[in-house]
Amino acid sequence: MELPVFDKNSVFDAMFNSVNDGINVIDENGTLIYVNNVSAKYAEKSVKEMLNKPIDEFYPHSALNELMIGKQEIVGRKINYKNGKRYLVNAFPIFVDGKFKGGFSVFKSIDDIEQLNERLNHLELQIRLSKSESNYETIIGSDGSLKNLIKKAKKTVGSLGGPRHSIITGESGTGKSMLAYYIYLYAKKIGALSKDAPFIEVNCAQFTNPDIAAIEIFGSEKGAFTGSTNKKGLFEQADKGVLFLDEAHALGNHQTMLLKAIETRSIKKIGGSRFHNVDVIIIAASTKNLKEVLLPELYQRLAQYELYLPPLSERTIKEKEDLLKYFTDKYEENVLAINKINLHVNYAPVAMQTLVNDNYPRNIRQYRDVINASIDSASPLISDIKPYSSIDVYVDSSHIPIHTDVFVNNSSYTKVVDKPNYLKSILPKQIIVDLKNKGLGPRRISKLLQEDGYDIKYYQVAYFLKKLKDNREY
Ligand X SMILES: Nc1ncnc2c1ncn2[C@@H]1O[C@H](COP(=O)(O)OP(=O)(O)O)[C@@H](O)[C@H]1O
Give the contact letters, 47-66, x = binds to Mg ion (CB under 5 A), - = no: --------------------
First to last CA, the chain: 100
- Taking the least distance from each CB to ligand X, the nearer of 77 and 330 is 330
E-strand ranges in 364-453 read 390-395
Site for ligand X (CB under 6 A): which residue of 202, 261, 302, 364? Answer: 364
The site for ligand X, by CB under 6 A, has a size of 16
Site for ligand X (CB under 6 A): which residue of 79, 140, 224, 280? Answer: 140
The item of ligand X, Mg ion, none sharing an interface with residue 368, based on CB under 5 to 8 Å by kind, is: ligand X
Q: Which of the stretches 38-46, 334-342, 351-359, 364-372 binds ligand X when contact is defined by CB under 6 A?
A: 364-372
Q: At what angle do helices 442-451 and 429-437 cross, to 10 degrees?
A: 130
Q: Are 30 and 64 within 8 A, CB to CB?
A: yes
Residues within window 242-271 making contact with ligand X, judged by CB under 6 A: none
The site for Mg ion, by CB under 5 A, has a size of 1
Q: Which of the stretches 174-182, 222-230, 351-359, 406-414 binds ligand X when contact is defined by CB under 6 A?
A: 174-182
- Taking the least distance from each CB to ligand X, the nearer of 137 and 451 is 137
The DSSP call for residue 141 is T
In the complex, what is the shortest distance from the CB of residue 324 to ligand X, in angstroms, rounded to a whole number? 11
Site for Mg ion (CB under 5 A): which residue of 31, 90, 117, 177? Answer: 177
In the complex, what is the shortest distance from the CB of residue 463 to ligand X, in angstroms, rounded to a whole number? 41
Q: Which of the stretches 81-89, 136-144, 231-239, 411-419 binds ligand X when contact is defined by CB under 6 A?
A: 136-144
The answer to the question of residue 173 lying near ligand X (CB under 6 A) is: yes
- Taking the least distance from each CB to ligand X, the nearer of 236 and 247 is 247
Q: Of the candidates 308, 259, 25, 5, which has an alpha carbon nearest to the alpha carbon of residue 146?
A: 308
Grouping H, G, I as helix, E, B as strand and the rest as coil, residue 345 is strand
In the complex, what is the shortest distance from the CB of residue 174 to ligand X, in angstroms, rounded to a whole number? 5
The item of ligand X, Mg ion, none sharing an interface with residue 174, based on CB under 5 to 8 Å by kind, is: ligand X
Burial class (CB in 10 A: 0-12, 13-18, 19+), 321: middle
Site for ligand X (CB under 6 A): which residue of 22, 141, 163, 241? Answer: 141
Q: Which of the stretches 19-27, 119-127, 172-180, 396-404 binds Mg ion when contact is defined by CB under 5 A?
A: 172-180
Site for ligand X (CB under 6 A): which residue of 22, 30, 170, 241? Answer: 170
**CA-CA-CA-CA torsion sign (151, 156, 157, 162):** positive
**CA-CA-CA-CA torsion sign (159, 161, 163, 168):** negative
- Taking the least distance from each CB to Mg ion, the nearer of 177 and 390 is 177
- Taking the least distance from each CB to Mg ion, the nearer of 174 and 460 is 174
Dihedrals phi, psi of 277, to nearest 5 degrees: -70, 135
- State CA 411 to chain mean position distance: 34
Dihedrals phi, psi of 84, to nearest 5 degrees: 90, -5
- Taking the least distance from each CB to Mg ion, the nearer of 289 and 346 is 289
Q: Where are the alpha helices (DSSP H) in 19-91?
A: 37-42, 47-50, 63-70
Sequence-distant (6+) residues with CB within 8 A of 188 are 135, 194, 195, 197
Q: Are 65 and 88 within 8 A, CB to CB?
A: no
Q: Concatenate the DSSP letters of all residues of 202-260 into one string.
A: EEGGG-SSHHHHHHHHHEE-TTSSTT---EE-HHHHTTTSEEEEETGGGGGGGHHHHHH
CA-to-CA distance for 148 and 220, rounded, in angstroms?
41
Q: Which of the stretches 155-163, 175-183, 224-232, 422-430 binds Mg ion when contact is defined by CB under 5 A?
A: 175-183
Dihedrals phi, psi of 393, to nearest 5 degrees: -120, 140
Helix (H) or strand (E) holding 33: strand 32-35
In the complex, what is the shortest distance from the CB of residue 309 to ligand X, in angstroms, rounded to a whole number? 6
- Taking the least distance from each CB to ligand X, the nearer of 269 and 368 is 368
In the complex, what is the shortest distance from the CB of residue 92 to ligand X, in angstroms, rounded to a whole number? 58
Interface ranges with ligand X (CB under 6 A): 138-141, 170, 172-178, 326, 364-365, 368
Interface ranges with Mg ion (CB under 5 A): 177
